[in-house]
Structure 1
């Protein structure tokens, strides 16, 4: 069994705990972190457009380096929390597409809700997570990063 756990800052502990709880000890576990191009891209653009005339030391390069270090630290913490052999995989690009591509051939994809945690419903998923759930090429285990909201928060039925 091959399990991919998509790890995101802030919600990754719930994914790691779900893998420990819901997958067999002998499963191949891949801890996946995907860095999007947004923040370094903005810094590169700002530097080139406003500050880059004849200067060096593009701040976007520094942001990419810091982002890479942050991802490695997150993956190391997740591997320690998992407490069993695993593969650490870092990707960069359009986050939702990289996660779907990484899940190809997997038996399970584990991810955490990343939207509104105060009530049940579709807003509990952000855009990247919604895309991933809708397009995953394997079964998906979707976990709450904290305690699930009460059933009283369930949206009312349609008026018809």
Structure 2
């Protein structure tokens, strides 16, 4: 059995706790982090457009890529420490929703947290990336609340 937890800033502790609670001991756990390519791409483009390409060693896009990789590594390390059992750490670069769906191919369970409006129940509690993942995941999905679940009162008809 393979369980994948999407490790995203702000919601990862809840995902790790859900894996600890719901994944059987012999399951292979994968902690997945996706770094967007937008910021480094913008920095590369700005440098090339404004300052030319004479000094590629000064390109701020490279520095942004290194900072993003270091941040992802710290986040995955913290998640692995919190999990407290053997796991595989996977870092991908690209559009989060597409990378998570691609990584979930062949998995038995995907764990992710709500990332939208978490003040009330309903479809807006999922951000665009999470909505895409829930709609397109090729495996069962465990969707968790990063904080306490808001009041259970249903909206008016």
TM-score (norm 2): 0.95
- Conserved 8 A contact 1:33-1:90: yes
**Displacement after TM superposition at 1:144 (Å):** 0.6
Matched, 1:31 2:31: yes
User: What are the ranges of 5 or more consecutive residues in structure 1 without an aligned counterpart?
Assistant: none
Alpha-carbon distance in structure 2 between the residues aligned to 1:41 and 1:97: 18
TM-score (norm 1): 0.93
**Displacement after TM superposition at 1:55 (Å):** 3.9
Matched, 1:90 2:95: no
SS in 1 for 2:34: strand
| 1:114 paired residue number | 115
Aligned length: 156
SS in 1 for 2:30: strand
User: What are the ranges of 5 or more consecutive residues in structure 2 without an aligned counterpart?
Assistant: none
**Displacement after TM superposition at 1:36 (Å):** 1.1
SS in 1 for 2:46: helix
RMSD: 1.1
| 1:60 paired residue number | 61
**Displacement after TM superposition at 1:42 (Å):** 1.3
